[in-house]
Structure 1
Amino acid sequence: MWVALRLLMLSLVVGVILSVIGLDPLNIIQSLGDFVRWVVRRFEDFFHLGFEAVERIIRYVLLGAAVVVPIWLLVRLFKVSER
């Protein structure tokens, strides 16, 4: 019983302080919802950036291979012709 009364009094005091600051319970709940949505968006952006990085690496590999593989083939062909 005393715990419930203490919680009630503490809630009243905190409520008055928050009211003086200009906060309202619905505003706090809405702010928490906005925060959760912000975190989810950041996670999605991070996830997307991970795949974007992989795509970039693949493009770099293909670009490099377009130069390296033909040179390697030419070198191999000239080595075979020397024997």
Structure 2
Amino acid sequence: MANGSLNRFLGGSPGGVLIRLLFLSLVVGAVMSWLGLTPIDLYEGTVALVRDLVDDGFAGLRHVGTWLMYGAMVVVPVWLLLRLLRGGSGQ
């Protein structure tokens, strides 16, 4: 029963999974070497990418916040005026 759970978790027999992982590791390592990449390069590149996305994302949020405030400066007074003219009837 435990062996079936282990096979299900691993996605196959432990020996078969080990062989597949070794083969994929060899292929990925060869490609990375051919491209001149190291795991440190990948890590630093990922950290820089996330940092840039966060910086750009927050800049985008600042723009959205500005647009929201500009729109609210027009929409809220018009809405309030219409509510007052209708007497707050809700129709």
Q: Quick check: 1:38 aligned with 2:52?
A: yes
User: Which is higher, the Rg of structure 1 or of structure 2?
Assistant: 1
Q: What is the count of residue pairs matched by the alignment? A: 59
**2:43 alignment counterpart:** 29
The reply on whether 1:5 has 2:36 as its aligned counterpart is no
1:56: how far off?
4.5
Q: What is residue 70 of structure 1 aligned with on the other side?
A: none
Q: Does 1:52 align with 2:66?
A: yes
What SS does structure 2 have at the residue aligned with 1:6? helix
Q: Which runs of 5+ in 1 are unaligned?
A: 62-83
Letter in 2 for 1:17: V
The equivalent of 1:16 in structure 2 is: 30
Runs of 4+ in 1 over 2 A off after TM superposition: 51-58
Aligned to 2:7: none
Report which of the two has the higher share of helix: 1
* Residue number in structure 2 paired with 1:76: none
CA RMSD of aligned residues (A): 1.6
TM-score by length of 1: 0.60
Distance in 2 of aligned mates of 1:8 and 1:50 = 48
| Distance in 2 (alpha carbons) for counterparts of 1:55 and 1:2 | 60
